[in-house]
Amino acid sequence: MNNSEKKRMNGEAEEENEEDVEDEGRDAWERTYTDERSWEALEEDESGLLQPIDNKAIYHSQYRRRLQSLSATSAASRIQKGLIRFLCVVVDLSKAAGEMDFKPSRMAVIAKHVEAFIREFFDQNPLSQIGLVIIKDGVAQSLTELGGSPEAHIKALMVKLGCAGDSSLQNALELVHDTLHKIPSYGHREVLILYSALSTCDPGDIMETIQKCKKAKLRCSVIGLSAEMFVCKHLCQETGGSYMVALDEGHFKELLLEHAPPPPALAEFAIANLIKMGFPQRAAEGSIAICSCHREAKVGEGYICPRCKARVCELPTECRFCGLTLVSSPHLARSYHHLFPIEPFTEISARQFELSRVASKTCFSCRESLLTPGAACTKCKQYFCLDCDIYIHESLHNCPGCESRRITPAAASATKS
Amino acid sequence: SFSDDVSLLVVLIDTNPFFWSTSSSSLNFHQFVSHVLVFLDLIVRLSQLNQIVVIATGHNTCDYIYDSSLDTDQVTGEGELPALYSFVLQRLEEFVNKDEKLGAKQEGLSEKRASSLLSGSLSMALCYIQRVFRSGPLHPQPRILCLQGSPDGSEQYVSIMNAIFSAQRSMVPIDCCYVGSHNSAFLQQASYITGGVYVKPQHLEGLYQYLATVFAVDLHSRSFLQLPRPAGVDFRASCFCHKTTIDMGYVCSVCLSIFCKHHDKCSTCGSVFGKAQLDAASDRKRKASES
């Protein structure tokens, strides 16, 4: 809603207004045919009878497949996750981005979802940084510098960005290579390219640039909005990234958000380092100091750098005077669930469910009656409904059954052996 | 959602016997429960649509005690006590007995420092609240109130932080009324991060007054009140090696473990610092084959 208000201020609302006017002329029953298309929500079962599509079951089975593919890759090899990430998001603003196959235009859809992605990214990776790059008229320019504050990037995106000219993948890669070359060796270098065009106009040999990026350990991923291209596929294969093409807006959003959690990091990509960090205390209520970010006097409500005593307004940040990385312990704690993930629950078959001795057949965590067989934790053996299973693995990262059990040291060593 | 002054209050009651047997004399467990019961009754009387769920945080387990949205036939009054009181008291007694039986085989636990399973009851509360969110667009505004006295268990740090971040994303405030002796850093952080209120009453004999004036009001009306402000939440980290609080330290870039001194190797994930991991792994193999 915020986005559409801002776009209205930028004068991009013509298409939206037209749709509203047309809708008012139609009655609700007419709209069910034109907009909702209720016949698409039906499917045939084996005997040819029509049934409504069971969205819940589809949602659950999609979730199961996703979880299984994730656990398969992590179990297959001891892959660590890259937690301190430096990501350059490259947005293609060539002529092709003005296409209207995504409503209202590809560019508008990209801007909307990149904003959501940026928020999600900083939520999951508080110590990481993002930089925005745009490709326009065959030239790549840096929209924002690498930084850890989501607001600066989102503000830059909200400005009316026109799209014009050709797209140049090589120029973009050269620019991100130079940007990411300067970061510390412990950071993971990633590039995410949102490519709308079907061609690239390059000044030189793009294969050389791709090799250069591969040598610099840049992990390049591409999300295409039109069709699959060989050069993008080659880039992603060489650098170890992922290449996907979005089918529609919903799919695009899903693909984009898949890049928010830390990717599995191959061990040779980053050098482990001990980073010196400060954990500032909150400034005393009512104390007056000049803050180093805004250069104005502020009262209370800030943090004091433990090394040089400068005042900063928000965390995480780098102290402007002494360069110390300042974080608070919750910022580090946000990433701990990646290091201590909980195992997927096992699905219970209908027969097991009937035979089980669970007295009231309710989900352990939410106490809803289990009408369909749910899932069980392998460690504490408690039963959970599928909705709790999804919530536990995607958001909570704690198994309520395991957390509600006290494991004595004796019992813990018994289970380990 | 409903009219904005309807609440779903999930109350987490600390029943940890190790805490209650050593707590100060101004409030014992039975007095504590009676203050809480009157408070629960107050919530129910403030609005017919208010819902209450009570979860007990024990030493060895956690469990649901009461859910006001279940059949009201379950509650029958006994003598002079209102029906709600006798039901909750009975369920609490059953829970405390179950909790005690589960711990019968433990030895060597320092009684003063024995923590409760707060991460378990917090996780259950959040799952219940998700169920309420799923039930449709009309639902009361949920919040969690921890009535906690036991000290923080450092082994639960990661789980409690996970619960706090999940509550923050779902916009569920975690309030706390702490009745123990020293402040709980975990719950102070929980209230700060989720936008809840943390109170450590100075006079425990008047516990009901604190509960009624601070925690009975619905979320929307809180903006009109002067609620207790956090007196300085400590966000410093503790080092993994000594558990001392530090304001400057070293963080492993691979696993984010915190150390107070420079090391050559991370004790948590085994990464060797300054070397690409593949080189370090092949060094280790070479050394192993040489010896």
Per-residue pLDDT of chain B (291 residues; tens, 9 = 90+): 467 788 999 999 999 999 998 877 788 999 999 999 999 999 988 888 899 999 999 999 999 999 988 865 455 555 556 788 888 999 999 999 999 988 766 555 555 568 899 999 999 999 999 999 998 888 899 999 999 999 988 888 889 999 999 999 999 999 999 999 888 889 999 999 999 999 999 999 999 999 999 999 999 899 899 998 877 777 777 787 887 788 899 988 888 888 888 888 888 777 788 766 555 555 556 665 655
Series of mean pLDDT values for 10-residue runs along chain A (417 residues)? 43 43 64 71 75 71 71 53 87 88 87 93 89 92 88 87 88 93 86 92 92 92 92 92 91 91 71 86 79 81 87 84 87 83 83 68 88 86 90 92 80 46
Q: Do B256 and A306 touch (CB under 8 A)?
A: no
Q: Do B130 and A405 touch (CB under 8 A)?
A: no
pLDDT at A3: 46
β pairing state of A303-304 and A274-278: unpaired
Closest Cβ opposite residue A272 in set B62, B131, B252: B252
* Phi, psi of A21, deg, nearest 5: -60, -40
- What is the C-alpha to C-alpha distance for residues A107 and A252, in angstroms, rounded to an integer? 12
Q: Do A397 and B162 touch (CB under 8 A)?
A: yes
pLDDT at A9: 43
C-alpha separations of A153 from A131, A148, A158, A173, A194 in Å = 8, 9, 9, 20, 16
- What is the C-alpha to C-alpha distance for residues B118 and B134, in angstroms, rounded to an integer? 25
- What is the C-alpha to C-alpha distance for residues A110 and A102, in angstroms, rounded to an integer? 9
pLDDT at B229: 82
How far out from the chain centre does Cα A13 lie?
A: 28
For the record, the structure tokens of B31 come out as 């007095």
Q: ipTM score of the complex?
A: 0.88
- What is the C-alpha to C-alpha distance for residues B246 and B226, in angstroms, rounded to an integer? 33
- What is the C-alpha to C-alpha distance for residues B65 and B61, in angstroms, rounded to an integer? 12
pLDDT at A19: 45
pTM: 0.80
pLDDT at A7: 41
C-alpha separations of B130 from A42, A89, A307, B142, B145 in Å = 29, 33, 43, 10, 16
C-alpha separations of A83 from A184, A215, A263, A366, A397 in Å = 14, 21, 8, 32, 17
Pick from A56, A52, A58, A23: nearest CA to A40: A52
Q: Do A307 and B235 touch (CB under 8 A)?
A: no
Q: Do A275 and B106 touch (CB under 8 A)?
A: no
Using DSSP's 3-state secondary structure scheme, residue A22 falls into helix
A406 vs B contacts (CB less than 8 Å): 59-61, 102-103, 106, 117
- Alpha-carbon torsion angle B247, B252, B258, B261, nearest 10: -70
Using DSSP's 3-state secondary structure scheme, residue B270 falls into coil
pLDDT at B288: 59
pLDDT at B289: 60
Judge contact between A169 and A197, C-beta under 8 A: no
pLDDT at A78: 45
CA distance B135 to chain A (A): 11
pLDDT tens-digit series, residues B191-220: 999 999 999 999 999 999 999 999 999 998
A366 vs B contacts (CB less than 8 Å): 124, 127-128, 130-131
pLDDT at B276: 60
Closest Cβ opposite residue A273 in set B166, B253, B258: B253
